[in-house]
Chains A and B, each alone.
Chain A
Amino acid sequence: MSRSLAGVAMVLAVAAASLQEASALELKEIAAGIFVHQGLHELPDAHNHGEIANIGFVVGSRCVAVIDTGGSPEQGRELKAAVERTTRVPVCYVVNTHVHPDHIYGNRAFRQPGVTFVGHRKLAQAMAVRAPFYLEKAQRELNNGLTRDDFIPPDQTVQDRLELDLGGRRLILTAHGPAHTDTDLSLFDDQTQILWLADLLFEGHVPVVDGSLSGWLKELEKLRSVQAKRAIPGHGPVVSDWPAAADAELHYLTRLREEVRGLVKQGKTLEQALEQASRSSRGDWQLFDEFHKRNVSSGFAEAEWEEP
């Protein structure tokens, strides 16, 4: 081996060791037994490997429920290590709150006997339809080693409502109609009165409509009547002023709907809608330029069928 090759090999070995060291996932216990890792408001890319969402777990006396597994297979392994560092209670459930990559790509780390994957009644189908595209995109853009084996569909589905008994606490899972996606789940912990909303709630990061704009407003209305001490968004900090914490999202979605309905009524084309869409709420949100137009696009297509 030449001297330079040996040098490269040594650098690689050091780098590998360093990366292992770097793999501790930062989580906060936001209430008794509820641990949340807060993601950064970034687009998924080759540097963050798609690890951008809030993920975490809930510890009962008998079972741990993992809530979303992260944006990469590695983040799933880091989350598993974090669970093991925190408690000796075993993981019984992995809940995927919806089909998006930043919430499901860590699934494989938890696949073992005794672990039940739980998701919306439409999750398996949504995963199957999206997997070929998601896989190609991950390989092209995320550099996170994703394979088709990382897509793990639910073993148990939530039709409308499901209770998971973790021992000493119950998680109540609700399957929502099309909103952020068409596979959204929310969770309520009866012990701490904490509402885990995942991407049904965006804080700081502009809301992304990949299900139904009107549907989301409908579900948000229902969720706002839930008495909760705190709410956990899919992106952004945990909030304590529920439901007031949803005001910004509600305002954004309401205005978006007014706007796309107006554009449809004026007989605009999709192209014109994309050009003319108002940017007035740009200052209120991060990643506005990355997602607002696509919200206008899907909202416009939805509004076209709302009129007679």
Chain B
Amino acid sequence: MKISQYPRLFGLLLAGVLAAIAAPVPAAGEEEAAWNGGLKQKYFADQPIEESNAVIELTAPYRAEDPALVPVSVTAKIPQTADRYIKTITLVIDNNPTPFAAAFHFTPDSGKADVAMRLRVNSYTHVRAIAETSDGKLTMSKAFVKASGGCSAPIGADLEAAMARLGKMKFKLDGDKLALQQPNLTQLLISHPNITGMQMDQISRLVKPAHFVQDVKVSFNGKPIMTAQTDIAVSAGPNFRFYFVPQQPGELKAEIKDNTGQSFAYAQAVTP
């Protein structure tokens, strides 16, 4: 090994020089290539989208510690009033195999159209949240995320455990108590592997179909407070935080359906 130190160093230096010559300089706006080159058109056709943090603001870590569990939150900057409110927030991850991550639908009764979740991020990519307000206007907030995490992959750990509890759900209220006539933050936890199908069957000679949550509907005393369409970018063990305004004590109910057609429901009584 002693003799080889120098040539190895030399090789590295040379490789560095060659890389410096060959490496493409990222052109300005290259990070927008996927979005402008088709994604925007695919999800929003020709509708104008204003880029600003005035309606919603997306928060995501610049460096994602675990690509399987990237915490992403959207904060609403306008109140939910009957006159003007946020109807839908759509999450898109430009460079994921399936860029569409989720779309959340709110009502004036949501109180506050904040939503937080955990996403799988495959690469270095923009994550975008696009809000549609009740006047039909679209506003986008975005963040750039570098998924790292060394050896881990954006799959998730121990999916068998999630599978063993398939469909189990729970709600967690902030402070475990209901506060009447004001927005209450609640968290919905769903046990589901939320897994993509196998893309390289020739490796394993196994076929494993995709299995993920597609529809989420949350209601309080029978009245819908949040509904969502979700896809495989949502992490295993889907986890959503959002608000609702209770007028009296009652029952929070979640109903979910996955792509195999399986449905699960769960109800939890909540009191002040």
> Which residues does A use to contact B, with CB under 8 Å?
11-12, 15, 18-19, 21-24, 26, 43-44, 46-47, 100-102, 124-125, 127-134, 136-137, 140, 143, 148, 151, 153, 178, 181-182, 208-212, 215, 267, 269-271, 274, 290-291, 293-294, 296-298, 301-302, 304-305
Contacts and interface: CB of A to CB of B under 8 A. Distances in A.
Given A15-B14, A128-B203, A151-B200, A21 B7 contact: yes
A79 B128 CA distance: 45
Contacts of A294: 65-66, 149-150, 152
B200 A148 contact: yes
A19 B179 CA distance: 69
Interface string B152-181: 111101111100010010001011100000
Interface of B is mostly: loop
A132 B232 CA distance: 15
A182 to B, nearest CB: 6
A101 B198 CA distance: 18
Contacts of B67: 133
B183 interface: no
Contacts of A212: 157-158, 161
Interface string B1-31: 1011001101110110001000000000000
Interface of B: 1, 3-4, 7-8, 10-12, 14-15, 19, 61, 65-69, 71, 73, 97, 116, 118, 122-124, 149-155, 157-161, 165, 168, 172, 174-176, 187, 189, 191, 195-196, 198-201, 203-206, 208, 235, 237, 239, 241
Contacts of A215: 158
Contacts of B65: 274, 293-294, 296-297
Contacts of A267: 172, 174-176
B151 A19 contact: no
A181 B151 CA distance: 10
The 10 closest A-B pairs by CB, nearest first: A18-B7, A124-B204, A128-B204, A22-B4, A294-B65, A22-B8, A294-B66, A293-B65, A178-B158, A100-B151
Contacts of B150: 43-44, 208, 290-291, 294
B158 A304 contact: no
B238 to A, nearest CB: 11
Nearest to A44: B150
Nearest to B69: A297
A270 B69 contact: yes
B68 A124 contact: no
Given A100-B151, A153-B203, A178 B161 contact: yes
Contacts of B172: 267
Contacts of A26: 1
Nearest to A53: B151
A129 B198 contact: yes
Given A125-B206, A133-B122, 19 more contacts: A12-B14, A18-B7, A26-B1, A44-B151, A101-B151, A128-B201, A131-B200, A133-B154, A134-B153, A151-B200, A153-B203, A178-B161, A267-B172, A267-B175, A269-B116, A274-B65, A274-B71, A291-B150, A298-B152
A298 B69 contact: yes
Nearest to A20: B7
